[in-house]
Amino acid sequence: MPVLPLRRKAARSADKHLESALLRRSVGAAQDRRDRCAHCHRTPLCGELVHLYPGDSGETLVCELCRPLRRESPARSELRRSTRLAALWTPSRCT
């Protein structure tokens, strides 16, 4: 039996492992950049109303579902837009 097919299988297997590692790294980097709710850690959906509260390290984001958990009123509220559209438009203020 020729050795060549085994080498091809090994090369394909190594390519699959590299592909999987690169995909995991890119997904992890994308998740790190996402805004998350301070309470439920959920990523707000496009079009969802989010509330921003002043905090020690900048603004704290709270989703509409967790808003009743806070007693104080938010500093501002805004609609979440698509990240692709965020570069084109500034978020609308709803306060």
Confidence class for position 41, pLDDT limits 50, 70, 90: very high
Predicted TM-score (pTM) of this structure: 0.55
Quick one: which H or E segment has residue 76?
strand 76-79
Contact residues for 54 (Cβ-Cβ < 8 A; gap 6+):
60, 75
The more confidently predicted of residues 42 and 26 is: 42
Predicted confidence at residue 95, as pLDDT, reads 40
Q: Is the pLDDT of residue 77 over 90?
A: yes
Confidence class for position 68, pLDDT limits 50, 70, 90: very high
The more confidently predicted of residues 40 and 21 is: 40
The stretch 33-62 carries a mean pLDDT of 87
